[in-house]
Structure 1
Amino acid sequence: MRNRTLVLGVTALAVAITGMAAPSFAARDKMTPEQRAERMIKRLDTNSDNKVSLDEFQARMTTNFKTFDTNGDGQISADEMKAKREAFREARKAWQDAKSKDGKERDAALAHLKEARPAMVPGMRPKTFKRVDTDGNGSLSAAEVASASEKMFKRRDKNGDGVIDAADFSKKV
């Protein structure tokens, strides 16, 4: 009887410990809002002051705009936007297929995925594309993207201090 109680106790303890550990393992795969904010700030902060100014944000949007404007006409058409998204989908599928393959093929697929990954620009989704296309001509100009990105910046600058920093991502703002 005593052995049975001991086995049941150890089993219950093992189940309890496993139950407590599982959420911590699952949490590793998901980034917290603070971690996403830190990553975004690090990526956009060109002068290393741990803040993103509107100028830094606009400079990134200008660079990103050029990656979508594949024909170089100063406009991003809906077709150019769609082609960029489709190229990324195909690269992501190739990466998923190559994950189980040898190093060189897997590395090549990952490099292609990184290259095909679309940069952030206002209007990437069809519904937002129409909203950003303020003149209704079916394409986005650099001015339309700049205007939409300024609005995006102001939404992210929760405390209105003119920069995006860690304070804009805290719950107290």
Structure 2
Amino acid sequence: MLSSLGMNLHRSLLALLLALGLSGCATTARKTDTTTRVERPATPAPAAQVTVRDEGNPSTSDEALAALASAPIYFTLDSATLTPEAQDGLERLAQALRQRPQARVNVSGHTCELGTTEYNLALGHRRADIVRTYLVRLGVEPQRIAVVSYGEEKPMDEHALEKNRRAELSVRQAE
């Protein structure tokens, strides 16, 4: 009888732990796409937003760099994978940056409000880092690219969560 009671208690504890583990997973965002893959998925998105701050005299080459601006790089829910359109925009940006060795880039990663604060900060960092990694693979020196994650702290649109799942780029000319 005692061993039967112990066995039932063991099964009950195992079931309770399993239920707690599953319920904990339901309250946080899935962490399935944690790699920094640079592949071309089927989902389209706009190219990178580029803001140019020139502390010197503006020139036509700086205008060409500013012309690469169109929109933030958008990501799907719980993803840090670049779309083909984002890759195309980053390729044009990398080409412009290779021609301007004095230019510096800041990449900020953002998320929607789903998930915990800690998870969103990590996801925002992965998004910014995938952009940085892609630019480095295209020949931009890593020391010229800074990344920061704001997680859910700086939403673009509080009513359209998909607009908050993004990375933004800011390009400045060093003196």
Compute the TM-score of the two structures, normalised by the length of structure 1.
0.26
Which one has a larger percent strand, Structure 1 or Structure 2? 2
The answer to which structure, 1 or 2, has the higher relative contact order (CA under 8 A, 6+ apart) is 2
Larger Rg: 1
Which one has a larger percent helix, Structure 1 or Structure 2? 1
